[in-house]
């Protein structure tokens, strides 16, 4: 770089952590702020990482730790509600043949690995801190923080998630929209025979599935029509998930027996978001869930966020000129990849909501996953 550059990253999730590590590797000064006091207070019990997510994690230098912490597998089983296996399909290795097709792991464990990488990068990290205002001109952004301080940056990267306050503050009007589905999740001990994801369609829920997250754990999930969250008392979460899961056979009776503590059960609506036109306003750029999100029907949420970070870092470190043309090039490179994934993820859920029985689900999934094998 012709002169030292400084970047503010707003949000310490997957995208924010990844872009921080990559920019620091190039010698760019990075301040990362996270609104939570507890950086690893991550919601959800587990995460499914497809190969294209693993490809970015390898670029970050954390793949070996991820491999040691998670559970790798290469197929998905389709079962009847009673547990009868109807079909087993090999997963496409979207990260290339030298990486597993899929790794399941506990979400807090992944976040902990990324936090360690950020700390090791030398970035400045402030927890419990928000950007109260961002005032920008053609050369940079002045950020004022909730602790009363302020600082000037060449660029602000908004990685503050689905409910991004930065997105709204810079005038992007798109907001997340519910798709009509919701998911119950819980972390439980791994039954000895569970070595891949299995998905049961039918029964009282749209989908009942599980994913191994280590040698000893899985996360189990049940997808249903979205209900008014305010009408479901949190203390009944375990009871509600057990009620739905108890209709399923195979490994489910053993899984259901461990769904006992309501505070260990997570209930979340499915949302969709795709910011169109550009992912920046001036020198503030959106990454990850701040720019797009989709239902987890293709397990691509984290992968797309990590890819955003990788692509943006490549562009920023490959030139001395940070301008509208560069930020628009970032959008153009990402939107052609992200839009098909968002649309397909929503379509899969809509087919279920509409009761479509002859949908070409394998064809749609195959086309999207084949596309994702290409470098972002």
pLDDT for residue 87: 94
- pLDDT, one tens digit per residue, over 313-361 is 999 999 999 999 999 999 999 999 999 999 999 999 999 999 998 999 8
Q: What is the pLDDT of residue 2?
A: 52
pLDDT (0 to 100) of residue 1: 40
Residue 159 banded pLDDT, cuts 50, 70, 90: very high
State residue 44's pLDDT score: 61
pLDDT single digits (tens) 261-290: 999 999 999 999 999 999 999 999 999 999
Tokens of 158: 């908004």
Task: Examine the pLDDT at 162 and tell me if it is beyond 70.
Answer: yes
The predicted pLDDT at position 183 comes to: 96
Q: State yes or no: pLDDT of 362 exceeds 50.
A: yes
Nearest by Cα to 155 from 306, 304, 330? 330
Is 201:78 a contact under the CB 8 Å cutoff?
yes
Question: pLDDT band for position 81 (50/70/90)?
Answer: very high
Res. 137 pLDDT band, cuts 50 70 90 = very high
| DSSP alpha helix (H) spans, the chain | 14-25, 51-59, 63-69, 107-121, 165-169, 237-245, 252-256, 301-317, 324-354, 361-372
- pLDDT, averaged across the chain: 96
- Is 4 a residue whose pLDDT tops 90? no
Strand 75-79 to 85-90 pairing: antiparallel
Matching CATH topology for 6-71+107-176+272-372 and 179-270?
no
Q: Return the pLDDT at 192.
A: 94
Q: What is the DSSP string of 67-121?
A: HHHSEEE-EEEEE-TTS-EEEEEEPP-TT-TTS-SEEEE-HHHHHHHHHHHHHHH
**Per-residue pLDDT at 42 exceeds 90:** no
List C-alpha distances in Å: 307 to 9, 135, 249, 287, 374: 16, 28, 37, 9, 12
Distance CA 182, CA 273 (A): 16
Six-digit token string for 121: 């990068």
Residue with tokens 């798709």: 179
- What DSSP line would sit under 10-48, residue for residue? E--SHHHHHHHHHHHHTT-EEEEEESSSSTT---SS-EE
Q: What is the CATH class of 6-71+107-176+272-372?
A: alpha beta
pLDDT at position 3 is 63
Percentage of residues in the chain with pLDDT exceeding 90? 95
Question: b/e for 343-356, b at 16 or more Cβ within 10 A?
Answer: ebbbbbbbbbeeee
Using left for φ > 0, alpha for ψ between -120 and 50, and beta otherwise, residue 59 falls in alpha
Query: Which pLDDT score is estimated for 45?
Result: 79
Asked whether the predicted pLDDT for residue 164 surpasses 70, the reply is yes
- Whether 334 contacts 56, CB under 8 Å: no
Dist CA 7 CA 26 (whole Å) = 12
Class of domain 179-270: alpha beta
Query: What's residue 40's pLDDT?
Result: 82
Confirm whether pTM is higher than 0.85: yes
Closest CA to 191 of 248, 247, 250, 242: 250
Q: In this predicted model, what pLDDT tens digit does every residue of 222-253 receive, in sequence order?
A: 999 999 999 999 999 999 999 999 999 999 99
- H/E run at residue 182: strand 177-189
Structural domain spans, the chain: 6-71+107-176+272-372, 179-270
Residue 43 has pLDDT above 60, yes or no: no
């Amino acid at each position: 770089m012709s002169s030292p550059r400084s970047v503010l990253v707003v949000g310490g999730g997957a995208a924010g952590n990844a872009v921080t590590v990559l920019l620091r590797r190039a010698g760019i000064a990075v301040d990362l702020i996270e609104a939570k006091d507890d950086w690893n207070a991550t919601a959800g019990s587990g995460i499914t990482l497809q190969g294209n997510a693993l490809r970015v994690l390898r670029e970050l230098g954390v793949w070996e730790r991820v491999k040691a912490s998670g559970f790798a597998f290469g197929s998905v089983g389709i079962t009847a509600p009673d547990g009868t296996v109807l079909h087993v399909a090999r997963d496409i290795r979207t990260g290339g043949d030298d990486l597993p097709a899929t790794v399941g792991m506990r979400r807090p464990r992944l976040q902990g690995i990324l936090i360690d990488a950020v700390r090791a990068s030398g970035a400045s990290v402030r927890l419990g801190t928000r950007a109260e205002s961002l005032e920008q001109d053609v050369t940079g952004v002045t950020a004022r923080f909730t602790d009363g301080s302020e600082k000037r940056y060449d660029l602000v990267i908004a990685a503050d998630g689905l409910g991004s306050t930065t997105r709204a503050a810079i005038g992007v009007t798109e907001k997340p929209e519910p798709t009509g589905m919701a998911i119950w999740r819980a972390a439980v001990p791994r039954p000895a025979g569970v070595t891949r994801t299995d998905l049961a369609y039918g029964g009282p829920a749209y989908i009942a599935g599980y994913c191994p997250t280590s040698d000893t754990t899985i996360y189990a999930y049940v997808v249903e029509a979205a209900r008014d969250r305010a009408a479901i008392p949190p203390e009944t979460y375990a009871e509600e998930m057990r009620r739905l899961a108890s209709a399923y056979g195979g490994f489910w009776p053993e899984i259901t027996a461990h769904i006992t503590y309501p505070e260990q059960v997570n209930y979340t609506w499915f949302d969709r978001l795709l910011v169109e036109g550009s992912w920046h306003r001036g020198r503030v750029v959106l990454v990850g869930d701040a720019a797009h999100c989709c239902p987890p029907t293709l397990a691509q949420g984290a992968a797309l966020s990590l890819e955003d970070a990788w692509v943006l870092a490549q562009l920023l470190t490959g030139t001395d000129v940070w301008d509208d043309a560069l930020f628009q090039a970032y959008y153009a490179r990402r939107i052609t990849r992200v839009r098909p994934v968002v649309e397909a993820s929503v379509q899969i859920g809509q087919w279920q909501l509409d009761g479509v029985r002859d949908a070409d689900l394998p064809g749609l999934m195959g086309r999207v996953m084949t596309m994702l094998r290409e470098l972002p």
